[in-house]
Structure 1
Amino acid sequence: SAQDIPQATLDFAHRMFDAARENDAELLLQAVDAGLPPNLTNDKGNTLLMLAAYNGHAPLVSGLLARGADGGRANDQGQSPLAGAVFKGHADVVRVLVAGGVDPRAGTPTAIQTARLFKRDDLLALMGATEEDMKEPVPAVPGPPPH
């Protein structure tokens, strides 16, 4: 259980999640290269990649993908890193994730549904949205963003 994890280990994990949020790519990618799991998640199921994507750090997202981070891994609310990047309007991150093979139709809501909800036609085009995608119902506004 989390209570059995040494405080120093928890502090290190918090530093890594902060590095993902704050774009400290040098620190975070060195840690991953040294053995930190690229799919490390926080207590809400957000991966390092989710936090980097949501905060608009395209080069860091690219670096994490290159080191084995799962670009399609949803958090505990079913939100994908791609949907998070769409929600925040980070077109550069959307490009990196799509180029990395991330499915824009995965997650709840999907990245395509998120783009439709927030009227981001530019991002729909980047994700290759089809006529069929445009017929899908658009869900209600998603829950609070990752943090």
Structure 2
Amino acid sequence: MTEMMPAGSFSPEQITALFIDAARLDDTELLTRFLDAGMAVDAQDSRGYTALIVAAYNGVLPATALLLERGADPNMQDAKGATALSGVAFKGHLAVAELLVSSGASLDIPSHLGRTPLMFAVMFGRQDMVRFLLAKGADPGHRDAEGLSVRDIAETHGQSHLFTQDGTTLS
């Protein structure tokens, strides 16, 4: 059992960091204690990370589920505009992506560079994630801030095998 120091011993930034670290480490007991003590479920650190963004990115399903059950917003964006689903698409954690989408995560929220979760999945060759996002209705026609389409990104990153000639379906 993790012992918590009195709240006066830590700055608000340190408390948020400890909360987010608990999510990263999948410490659902500590997350529950923070939340029961009044921690804002969508508290953000200096990079805009929330516990949900970090838990999802690290593929920790129990912490992700707990945070969503406790009201975490699956569409919060970090300082670069990335959502939890963006990080999951990049890393390829399909079970976490399924949970996020079933909990209301939007499929096409672009980062500040205009990149959507589908684009991140394509960039990193996450074929199962690409299939999942397309099946759920992700927009393959979206263009990023440089004007690149999903198909353009696939070609640039050596992933053109993910798409058929029309650029919208997996081969």
Q: Does TM, normalized by the shorter one, top 0.5?
A: yes
Gaps of 5+ in 1: 1-5, 142-147
Question: Could you list the runs of 5+ residues in structure 2 that have no partner in the other structure?
Answer: 1-7, 143-148, 158-171
- Give the aligned partner of residue 49 of structure 1: 52
Equivalent in 93, 104, 108 of residue 105 of structure 1: 108
State the Cα RMSD in Å: 2.1
Matched residues in 2 for 1:8 and 1:101: separation? 34
| Structure in which a larger fraction of residues adopt helix | 1
1:7: Cα distance to partner? 5.6
Residues paired across the two proteins, number: 135
Structure exhibiting the larger radius of gyration computed from Cα positions: 2
Question: Does structure 2 retain, via aligned residues, the 8 Å contact 1:80–1:110?
Answer: no
Cα-to-partner distance string for 1:92-115 (whole Å, 9 max, x where unaligned): 111110111101111312111211
Q: What is the aligned partner in structure 1 of residue 62 from structure 2?
A: 59
Query: Which structure carries more relative contact order (alpha carbon 8 Å, separation 6+)?
Result: 1
User: How far apart, CA to CA, are the structure 2 residues paired with 1:92 and 1:46?
Assistant: 21
Structure 1 runs, 4 residues or longer, greater than 3 Å off: 138-141
1:121 is aligned with what amino acid? Q
Q: Percent identity?
A: 33
Select the residue among 40, 51, 56 that pairs with 2:43. Answer: 40
Single out whichever of 74-83 and 104-113 deviates more from structure 2: 104-113
2:88 alignment partner AA: A
Q: Is the 2:88–2:96 contact (alpha carbons within 8 Å) kept by the matching residues of 1?
A: yes
